[in-house]
Amino acid sequence: MSGAAVDVRNVTKTYGSGATAYTALRGVDFVVHPGEFVMLSGPSGSGKTTLLSIIGCVLTASTGAVSLLGNDISKAKDGELAAMRLSHIGFVFQAHNLIASLSAQENIAMLLELRGYSKTEARREAASLLTQVGLADKLDNLPRDLSGGQRQRVAIARALAGSPPIILADEPTAALDAQNGLAVTELLRALAKEKGHTVVVVTHDNRIFHLADRIVRIEDGLIQENPT
Ligand code: ADP
Ligand code: MG
């Protein structure tokens, strides 16, 4: 066992079949150690979201091996993948995907209730998570009454529900101005450095590269050897 948080070996992913088949990953190795803050960067269409989705137990690889914290998920069935996703993965998307009619606290409490928390526990834990991301005074705000950066903080708090060891973020700063983009990235970095989460951020936002422990480049479905 490698002790890695994320261990992807020689993974391929082909979408579709026959004449319309498209191979988005062509033999990818990608290893992330516990507590690392890694950025995955590359042009549009290079396979970043595909790779993140495989790590996040949303998609399965066509061939190759994938392990999360020593658990081989390459051959996991749908139910096992769903369980793995619930216990191991927190996702932050480019668009925050918050429910417009629910307050910040309710957005997170709802998810916690789905995870088995009682209503009271869910509200208390939601408040605690929002406090951790600096939004203690915004619990009752609807998404439309938050700034873009604050909404993305709510999305990060939501990803932290259940304290999954691995946090994955797909272009979390794409819709943010420079200042908010940096603040959100600093928060994600702190989750790795202060709380011990393993964090992988897909981005082509060069304003935030300097905050990464390591930047891995992907192009045309293949990891590029680091030139630096
Ligand atoms: P990125 O996130 O780097 O922009 P993606 O992983 O989303 O790249 O996509 C990689 C390639 O796979 C692209 O050429 C894209 O068109 C293709 N692709 C992604 N999802 C699908 C799908 N569900 N069906 C067919 N092709 C897809
Ligand atoms: Mg993408």
Closest-lying ligand to the alpha carbon of 174? 2
CA distance 98 to 52: 20
- The 10s digit of each residue's pLDDT in 45-58 is 999 999 999 999 99
Question: What confidence category does residue 175 fall into, taking pLDDT thresholds of 50, 70 and 90?
Answer: confident
Distance 197 CA to ligand 2 centre (A): 22
**Amino acid making up residue 208:** I
- Give yes or no for residue 226 having a pLDDT over 70: no
Distance 48 CA to ligand 2 centre (A): 5
- The 10s digit of each residue's pLDDT in 206-219 is 999 999 999 999 99
Instruction: Quote the pTM value.
Output: 0.93
- Give yes or no for residue 228 having a pLDDT over 60: no
Which pLDDT does position 89 carry in this prediction? 96
- Nearest atom, ligand 1, residue 13 CA: 12
Higher pLDDT, 75 or 192: 192
Distance 53 CA to ligand 1 centre (A): 11
Distance 50 CA to ligand 1 centre (A): 6
Whole-number average pLDDT of the chain = 94
Q: How does 20-29 read in b/e, with b if 16+ C-beta sit within 10 Å?
A: eeeebbeebe
- DSSP, residue by residue, 133-165: TT-GGGTT--GGGS-HHHHHHHHHHHHTTT--S
Which pLDDT does position 8 carry in this prediction? 98
Report yes or no: 24 and 13 within 8 Å, Cβ to Cβ.
yes
Report yes or no: 79 and 57 within 8 Å, Cβ to Cβ.
no
Question: What confidence category does residue 25 fall into, taking pLDDT thresholds of 50, 70 and 90?
Answer: very high
Token pair listed for 174: 């794409």
**Which residues have C-beta under 5 Å from ligand 2, the single-atom ion?**
48-49
- Nearest atom, ligand 1, residue 22 CA: 26
Question: What confidence category does residue 227 fall into, taking pLDDT thresholds of 50, 70 and 90?
Answer: low
Report the share of the chain in percent with pLDDT over 70.
98
* Mean pLDDT value across residues 150-160: 93
- Give yes or no for residue 85 having a pLDDT over 70: yes
- The 10s digit of each residue's pLDDT in 180-203 is 899 999 999 999 999 999 999 999
- Nearest atom, ligand 1, residue 42 CA: 3
